[in-house]
Amino acid sequence: MEAKQTFFDEAMALRRLWHRFGGETGLHRHFLSSWPKDPQIEPLRANEVSRFVHTRLGHERERLLGPLVIRWLENITHKDLEDVANRMRVSSIEMTAVANSGHPSSSTSAAELMATLFFHEMRYDVKNPRSEHADRFILSKGHACPILYAAWEEAGLLSHDDVLTLRKINSDLEGHPTPRLNFIDVATGSLGQGLSCAAGMAYTGKYIDKASYRVFCLLGDGESAEGAVWEAASFASHYKLDNLVAIVDVNRLGQSQATQLGHHVEIYRDRFAAFGFETIVIDGHNIEQIAAALKTARDIKDKPTAIIAKTHKGQGIDGVADQDNWHGKPVPIEKVEAIKARYHGSRKGDVEPKKPIEDAPKVDLHIGSIKMSDPPAYTKGDKVATRAAYGTALAKLGKANPRVIGLDGDTKNSTFSEKLLKEKPDQFIECFIAEQNLVGVAVGAQCRGRTIPFTSTFAAFFTRAADQLRMAAVSFANLKCTGSHVGVSIGEDGPSQMALEDLALFRAIPDSTVFYPTDAVSAERATEMAANIQGIVFIRTGRPALPVLYANDEKFEAGKAKVLRENVKDSIVLVGAGVTLYECLKAADELEKSGVHACVIDPFTIKPIDGETIVKHAKRTGGKVVTVEDHFAAGGIGETVSAAVSDAGIRVRSLHVSGVPRSGPPDDLVDMFGISARHIVEAVKKFH
């Protein structure tokens, strides 16, 4: 019996000393030299022990050691993980108590899930959390970030002093996680969005990187009421993302009351199964069940896995566990010591994360030097829609750079992103009619610099994903969005398809860039420039085919306007973009007949706006500017220009779409809603 216990001890030494002795060779030497000279086990030394070391407790371990030994080893591992979970639980309680704010009850329900995931299943490098080879983790229930910070404390990346800075103004350990931390890929906290980002990562891993890394997403049960979760689930199933594991923390309680489904885990199971997931229901506080579920998920092929974990909110906190009205409330600081004493026996141990499989390709996006395969090739005067020119440019970019990808929401034949699909089908992702997921997948795909994603749909439909775009900014995402079918000039399709708020939406995003190209040449150059700008970029493209204005070799810069028409006799400045720039040119011709000369400016970018050029020409023309836009007044060109020239004492008159438009021929609608050349002429004549 003593010899058998010695065998157990040495087996555990193998697991715990692997890293200490530098891998297989060093550990093998240590293991054999320390093996006891006991006749009952001596025969193992030359063969079984060697193979035991070689397999690292692998698939042959049960045959070599016997089921009793394996069971004993697993129990020890599970006890270690229970200790890890309890230390993480205590840390999350303490850090929120010190901060006097946060969500300890939402964190403690996930302690066992996180401990098993981080220290038994996931592969990652503590010293390089954003390694391209490492597994990805997204905490979709972002308010539970204390348990995530506790996991990285346990891993050794953060100190205990670090986590006690939670929510302080000078700390990057914010109340909901953001990529200011090097172990966070996407910001979460606006619920329902994490699974889309995870699906984008998983798609990239399976089909673009073709690598071994896997993606894990922890969701809350309350956020499963969000439709975006099911958009993501549909996408993940359609593309057979077997490298994706969704874990739902079913802790029964929401913010203000019980969730819709409470602890009816079978309903969550059936819903995910209906979307094509392999589903596993477990006790989310049972380490053995969690580990077994994760192992099962590892072996699933051709579909994603959903682990439905029944848990209790506030688990481990007396008087809080499974009790309502504790959401977002820290445990009183005076009670923390008692909780720490309760788990005093939870030792540190030697549980360590697994190392990544290093098979993801190195990627250098060369941002700043990305070029199209060919320059624009148009003839002045030819009529080309800017949406078509965008598609041409996207295909050229994809041809020149395999990491430029396109995503669309089943509008690719209208946005012309299908040109990339035809040129480089492996660089195109069809996301179908699910715009929130479209943006979320793109955000996931760009993480860790794996791709430069261009998302395309009707500009009006991006408003459906406004929150995803807002959170993309919080994630510091490198995301490109192109919206077509803008304004009343789309014509007969009517107001449901007319984007009249899109400039306002994208201008409001922090550090965004907004292009509004007028012709095919400028549209191609805007697309090329977007690939070289780090951050969120919007390109507004139109439906009408309009004459090419610029030479193919014309140089463009973000924030630099183009002056298309000027004369020393100018007495007014006209600013327009897209269809309204052509209306400005027509109006200038008409005004000239009556002896009034107008300077016509194409802003090219609405953000940043070239206020310097506009002010320069406005001052020489009497300080009067008329802006014309196929957009509502709020957040559009008029407001942008007015803000840019306000300090110079320049007066601005804005022509824009007002009210709810209707179906009709494009030219008739442009005139009906007051942005045609006729209305521009009238506005100039009345501008005193």
| One domain, residues 628 and 654 | yes
What is the β-pairing status of strands 562-565 and 597-602? antiparallel
Q: Has 435 been annotated as catalytic? A: yes
Q: Are 140 and 194 in contact (CB under 8 A)?
A: yes
Q: pLDDT, tens digit, for every residue of 85-105? A: 999 999 999 999 999 999 999
Owning domain of residue 437: 383-547
What pLDDT score does 77 carry?
Answer: 82
| One domain, residues 85 and 50 | no
Judge whether residue 73 has pLDDT over 90. no
Domain boundary among 289, 316, 342: 342
What pLDDT score does 18 carry?
Answer: 44
What's at 143, amino acid-wise?
A: H
Judge whether residue 461 has pLDDT over 90. yes
What pLDDT score does 648 carry?
Answer: 87
Quick check: is 348 in a domain?
Answer: no
Judge whether residue 350 has pLDDT over 80. no
What separation in angstroms does the CA of 311 have from each of 111, 124, 321, 332?
Answer: 10, 26, 10, 23
Enclosing H/E stretch for 529: helix 520-531
CA 295 to chain CA mean position, Å: 27
Give the span between the Cα atoms of 513 and 507, in whole angstroms: 7
Average pLDDT of the chain is: 92
Q: pLDDT, tens digit, for every residue of 616-671? A: 999 999 999 999 999 999 999 999 999 999 988 899 999 999 999 999 999 999 99
State the average pLDDT over residues 485-507: 99
**Structure tokens, 136:** 């990805």
Q: Are 118 and 155 in contact (CB under 8 A)?
A: yes
Who wins on pLDDT, 324 or 75?
A: 324
Q: Which residues contact 373 (CB under 8 A, 6 or more apart)?
A: 396, 397, 399, 400
**Structure tokens, 352:** 């360590």
| One domain, residues 287 and 263 | yes
| One domain, residues 134 and 232 | yes
Give the confidence band of 348 by pLDDT, cuts at 50, 70, 90: low
Judge whether residue 38 has pLDDT over 50. no
| Phi and psi at residue 405, to the nearest 5° | -125, 160
Total tally of structural domains belonging to the chain: 4
| One domain, residues 52 and 138 | no
Angle 608-503-396 (CA atoms, 0-180°, nearest 5)?
75
What pLDDT score does 349 carry?
Answer: 60
| One domain, residues 151 and 17 | no
| Phi and psi at residue 430, to the nearest 5° | -85, 120
- Worst-scoring range by mean pLDDT, 207-216, 229-238, 317-326, 412-421? 317-326
Is residue 243 classed as helix, strand or coil in its secondary structure? coil
Quick check: is 373 in a domain?
Answer: no
Judge whether residue 68 has pLDDT over 60. no
Give the confidence band of 27 by pLDDT, cuts at 50, 70, 90: very low
CA 294 to chain CA mean position, Å: 24
Nearest to 499 by CA among 398, 579, 419, 557: 579
What pLDDT score does 352 carry?
Answer: 85
Cβ neighbourhood burial of 425 (10 Å; 0-12, 13-18, 19+): exposed
Give the confidence band of 32 by pLDDT, cuts at 50, 70, 90: very low
What's at 312, amino acid-wise?
A: H
Domain boundary among 27, 43, 65: 65
Judge whether residue 31 has pLDDT over 90. no
DSSP 207: I
| One domain, residues 397 and 535 | yes
| One domain, residues 635 and 530 | no
What pLDDT score does 332 carry?
Answer: 93
What pLDDT score does 343 carry?
Answer: 87
Give the span between the Cα atoms of 419 and 596, in whole angstroms: 44
Nearest to 390 by CA among 463, 472, 496, 481: 481
Judge whether residue 182 has pLDDT over 50. yes
What's at 121, amino acid-wise?
A: E
| Phi and psi at residue 654, to the nearest 5° | -115, 125
State the average pLDDT over residues 241-256: 98
What pLDDT score does 688 carry?
Answer: 80
Give the confidence band of 344 by pLDDT, cuts at 50, 70, 90: confident
Judge whether residue 376 has pLDDT over 90. yes
Quick check: is 357 in a domain?
Answer: no
Give the confidence band of 213 by pLDDT, cuts at 50, 70, 90: very high
Judge whether residue 57 has pLDDT over 80. no
| Size of the chain in residues | 688
Give the span between the Cα atoms of 178 and 480, in whole angstroms: 20
Judge whether residue 20 has pLDDT over 80. no
| One domain, residues 479 and 583 | no
What pLDDT score does 499 carry?
Answer: 99
| One domain, residues 188 and 129 | yes
State the average pLDDT over residues 415-443: 99
Question: What CATH number is given to the structural domain containing 613?
Answer: 3.40.50.920
| One domain, residues 307 and 256 | yes
Judge whether residue 415 has pLDDT over 70. yes
Give the span between the Cα atoms of 615 and 628, in whole angstroms: 17
3-state DSSP percent of the chain in helix, strand and coil, to 5 = 45, 15, 40
Give the confidence band of 1 by pLDDT, cuts at 50, 70, 90: very low
Judge whether residue 270 has pLDDT over 90. yes
What separation in angstroms does the CA of 474 have from each of 55, 118, 145, 190, 536?
Answer: 44, 25, 16, 11, 11
Q: pLDDT, tens digit, for every residue of 545-597? A: 999 999 999 999 999 999 999 999 999 999 999 999 999 999 999 999 999 99
Give the confidence band of 4 by pLDDT, cuts at 50, 70, 90: very low
Residues of the chain above pLDDT 90, percent: 85
CA 238 to chain CA mean position, Å: 20
What is the β-pairing status of strands 537-540 and 480-484? parallel
Q: Which of 223, 226, 231, 435 is catalytic?
A: 435
Who wins on pLDDT, 287 or 688?
A: 287
Question: What CATH number is given to the structural domain containing 96?
Answer: 3.40.50.970
**Structure tokens, 562:** 């183009």
Give me the residue label for tokens 């900014």: 473
Give the confidence band of 34 by pLDDT, cuts at 50, 70, 90: very low
| One domain, residues 6 and 139 | no
What pLDDT score does 245 carry?
Answer: 99
